[in-house]
Structure 1
Amino acid sequence: MDEQTMQLTAKLAEITVRNTASAVIEKIKTVKAKKNDQETIAELTEIIQDLIDDKQNLVLISKGLENELVSQKLTDDDVKSISDTILPIIIKFAEASDDGGQLVENINLIKPLISKEMLTIMQLLGFNYKKAIGEPLTQLLNNKIKSFEITENDELQLAVVQRDTEYYKLMQNEKAIQNIKDFKQ
């Protein structure tokens, strides 16, 4: 369960405990026991207002939980897009990788899980495709992109190779070697 869902669930539990029938009845009994009509009316009005506020909070919580659920569920259009567009691109990317075909094999293992029937069954059981497949693929792509980055160490190694190349070119030039000998004397 992600952080936002846990917060919404905790808030829901808090409102539920605060507004159980027995808790509300107890508040009303306490207010009526005071025998002061003005004070009783004011406190009952406050209880009603609190209940209305809590109802509004419950509506917001239910919308938040619904949004979380909807964001995890793949639609038929999502499935079609994945199978027709995204999956072939991922396979081409995997084929271009230099891991001996292991990535392509792994993706081919995942393909049957993307059928409409399997997707529906898995989602009914609570499987989250976006978390199980989308996040690892995102991480894989992120790692691949990062592997293309040139670090300071790479730049230093490149400079050393360039220096050595120039040095070897210099060693092949007899006039340059003679100039170095003359300079040392």
Structure 2
Amino acid sequence: MTIRDKNKLELTARNYKERLEQVTISDSDIESLHNTVSTVLKIIKPLSQSGEQEDEKSIDIVLDLLNSDTLKTLQLLGYNYKKAIGEPLTQMTAEFLKAKLDTKK
């Protein structure tokens, strides 16, 4: 292995490590995420059109995904929590605000 190959390999490893650190969540981040998502889900729960019992089950499922062991394991398998949780919450909130702020009705 040449010095050039070694340097290229080290650069690749460093880049990979940096990318991994960007998506890795600490236990305290997961706890904060769990608490925040729990609060958000309770806030948007009244916006749902489905039945009360169904809402509770859905909320419980989402919150079960947000424990440290589950989330870290899913991340190792390629789980993208931003797409799976963040994007739907963003879309739901945006749709609610658009409906409430629509003055054309």
Q: Decide: shared fold, TM above 0.5.
A: yes
Within 2, Cα distance between the matches of 1:144 and 1:94? Answer: 9
Partner SS for 2:19: helix
Whether the aligned pair in 1 keeps the contact of 2:47 and 2:96 (CA below 8 Å) is: no
2:89 to 104, 116, 137: 137
1:68 aligns with 2:19: yes
1:128 to 80, 94, 103: 80
1:87 aligns with 2:33: no
Q: How many residues align?
A: 103
1:86-125 → structure 2 map (5 Å cutoff): 86-100=36-50, 101=52, 102-125=54-77
| CA distances 1:78-113 after superposition (whole Å, capped 9, x unpaired) | 111022x31232122222214134555422221211
CA RMSD of aligned residues (A): 3.1
Deviation at 1:135, TM superposition (A): 2.1
Gaps of 5+ in 2: none
1 or 2 for the larger relative contact order (CA 8 Å, sep ≥6)?
A: 2
- Residue identity (%): 26
Within 2, Cα distance between the matches of 1:81 and 1:69? Answer: 20
Name which one, 1 or 2, has greater alpha-carbon Rg. 1
The letter for the 2-side match of 1:88 is S
| CA distances 1:153-181 after superposition (whole Å, capped 9, x unpaired) | x0xx5xxxxxxxxxxxxxxxxxxxxxxxx
Within 2, Cα distance between the matches of 1:103 and 1:145? Answer: 20
- TM-score if structure 1 supplies the norm length? 0.44
- TM-score if structure 2 supplies the norm length? 0.69
Counterpart for residue 165 of structure 1: none
Within 2, Cα distance between the matches of 1:62 and 1:74? Answer: 20
